[in-house]
């Protein structure tokens, strides 16, 4: 008896981004607002970071709400029905449940059930990780259309009074639909990690710390034990970074990764219509532009001035703004690169939708 | 291997590119923060560019010890030796 031969999935030769969407929450936080919490000034913040405002979500707006807003626009622009989605990927580090995923809830809300759904935890590289996955899924034939969302409610995990990262951060969501294409629309992804710098950006506490606090509260005789009340405020995990280490890594190592993505795509900087790096800090963006020797003709994503740093949402949000303000960029090539906590990074050249 | 004069000239060029300060203003006894008004982010950019130009490694923990232009020149000269 001969061994049966398995069927193979019919592959797609190429994939590209078919539609893009954005959700920017309503609350605007200015530098003056920030200066109520930290000793700083509008001028200092603008000079060091390029940030003028950040959008933040109201208490009743969740990561999934924002993801839905961005996803609906991307699906509509892609010209498909939600039921045609073959996979839904949400990149986020601020969905407040370890399980179930934000993606499963989003898929149900969109009417895309039973599409496979999962979250990616790759912080500020999450969107580029998602695009790398979507590209692979579509070209392998595992899915025809893939929704990739970067959605973050970072305002839930900041301490307004600390100075390393909180004042940079905003909330929001950006989404794209990736699908089959006649011509290559997503260049090879250059992605990776460096866990030796695991501590460079991260949370002040783990869920285990929260669990221990809960246990001590249960064993306390006092209903309003002041020690436990105070510990409750301190134990909520918030973000911190070693700015110096991260800045150097971003400027130095990430410019190399961006160049590798250009090389892998087989194009030169002069072929680009746009450069959309993760919106971490305007000074990092400026320095990368210099290191990559991008010509003046390349339009640079600088959404950080209005949106702040929105982690996984920053690249699709910045791309969305660029396309709105410069519709002629549609069809042009954009180099996108995400980098952040892990440390992790991902970059690829894409054809703009 | 560069002489101290060459390192100073190279550093002045890097500082000029980052801040617009005239290269002549970048003298050995000048403090990066006090005299040249260079902030921490510019300092990191200068460090990264100096590493590239002179082929040396300046660890993060060393950067805070580089108070004057002279400190940086000596560090780079020693690192190259």
Mind listing the pLDDT tens digit for each residue in A119-177?
999 999 999 999 999 999 999 999 999 999 999 999 999 999 988 899 899 999 999 99
Known catalytic residue: A128? no
This model of the complex carries an ipTM of 0.74
Which long-range contacts (C-beta less than 8 Å, at least 24 apart) are formed by A38-44? A38/A160, A38/A161, A38/A162, A38/A163, A38/A167, A40/A163, A40/A167
Whether this model's pTM surpasses 0.80: yes
- A225-259 per-position pLDDT tens digit: 677 666 666 788 999 998 888 988 998 899 999 99
Chain B residues inside the 8 Å CB shell of A248: 44, 47-48, 60
Q: What is the share, in percent, of chain A residues with pLDDT greater than 90?
A: 81
- How far, in Å, CA of A302 to CA of A325, rounded? 12
Predicted confidence pLDDT, tens digits, chain B (81 residues): 688 999 999 999 999 988 889 999 999 999 999 999 898 888 888 998 999 899 999 988 888 899 999 999 999 999 987
pLDDT at A244: 84
Arithmetic mean of pLDDT, A313-341: 97
Of B40, B48, B63, the CB nearest to A252: B48
From A99-103, A282-286, A331-335, the region with the lowest mean pLDDT: A282-286
Cβ–Cβ below 8 Å for A48 and B60: no
User: Which 3-state string (H, E, C) describes A154-223?
Assistant: HHHHCCCCCCCCHHHECEEEEEEEEEEECCCCECCCEEEECHHHCCCEEECCCHHHHHHHHHHHHHCCCC
Nearest residue of chain A to residue B44 (CA atoms): A248
Shortest Cα distance, chain B CAs vs residue A291, angstroms = 10
Known catalytic residue: A160? no
Cβ–Cβ below 8 Å for B45 and A251: yes
A316's tokens:
């699709």
pLDDT at A236: 85
Shortest Cα distance, chain B CAs vs residue A292, angstroms = 13
Arithmetic mean of pLDDT, A100-110: 98
Cβ–Cβ below 8 Å for B63 and A48: no
pLDDT at A222: 65
């Amino acid at each position: 008896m001969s061994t049966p031969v398995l069927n193979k999935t019919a592959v797609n030769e190429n994939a590209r981004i078919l539609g893009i969407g954005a959700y920017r929450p309503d609350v605007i936080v200015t530098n003056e607002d920030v200066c109520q919490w930290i000793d700083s000034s509008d001028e200092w913040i603008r000079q060091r970071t390029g940030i003028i405002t950040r959008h933040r979500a109201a208490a009743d707006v969740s990561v999934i709400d924002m993801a839905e807003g961005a996803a609906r626009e991307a699906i509509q622009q892609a010209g498909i029905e939600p039921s045609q989605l073959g996979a839904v990927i949400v990149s986020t580090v601020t969905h407040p449940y370890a399980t179930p995923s934000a993606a499963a809830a989003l898929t149900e809300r969109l009417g895309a059930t039973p599409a496979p759904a999962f979250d990616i935890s790759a912080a500020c590289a999450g969107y580029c990780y998602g695009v790398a996955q979507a590209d692979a899924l579509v070209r392998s034939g595992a899915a025809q259309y893939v929704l990739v969302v970067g959605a973050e409610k970072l305002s839930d995990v900041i301490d307004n009074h600390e100075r390393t990262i909180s004042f940079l951060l905003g909330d929001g969501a950006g989404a794209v639909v990736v699908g089959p294409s006649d011509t290559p629309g997503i260049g090879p992804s250059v992605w990776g990690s460096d866990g030796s710098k695991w501590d460079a950006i991260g949370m002040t506490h783990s869920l285990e710390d929260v669990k221990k606090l809960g246990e001590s509260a249960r064993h306390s005789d006092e209903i309003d034990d002041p020690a436990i009340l105070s510990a409750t405020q301190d134990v909520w995990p918030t973000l911190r970074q070693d700015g110096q280490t991260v800045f150097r890594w971003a400027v130095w190592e990430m410019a190399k990764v961006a160049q590798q993505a250009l090389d892998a795509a087989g194009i030169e900087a002069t072929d680009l219509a746009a450069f959309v790096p993760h919106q971490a800090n305007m000074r990092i963006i400026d320095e990368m532009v210099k290191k990559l020797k991008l010509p003046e003709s390349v339009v640079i994503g600088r959404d950080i001035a209005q949106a702040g740093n929105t982690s996984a949402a920053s690249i699709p949000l910045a791309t969305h703004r660029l396309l709105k303000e410069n519709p002629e960029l549609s069809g042009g090539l954009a180099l996108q690169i995400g980098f952040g906590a892990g440390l992790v990074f991902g970059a690829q050249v894409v054809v703009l939708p | 291997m560069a002489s101290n004069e060459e390192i100073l000239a190279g550093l002045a060029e890097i500082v000029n590119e980052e801040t617009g300060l005239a290269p002549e203003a970048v003298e050995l006894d000048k403090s990066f923060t006090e005299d040249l008004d260079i902030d921490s982010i510019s300092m990191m950019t200068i460090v990264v560019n100096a590493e590239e130009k002179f082929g040396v490694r300046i660890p993060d923990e060393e950067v805070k010890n580089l108070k004057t232009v002279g400190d940086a020149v000596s560090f780079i000269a020693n690192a190259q030796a």
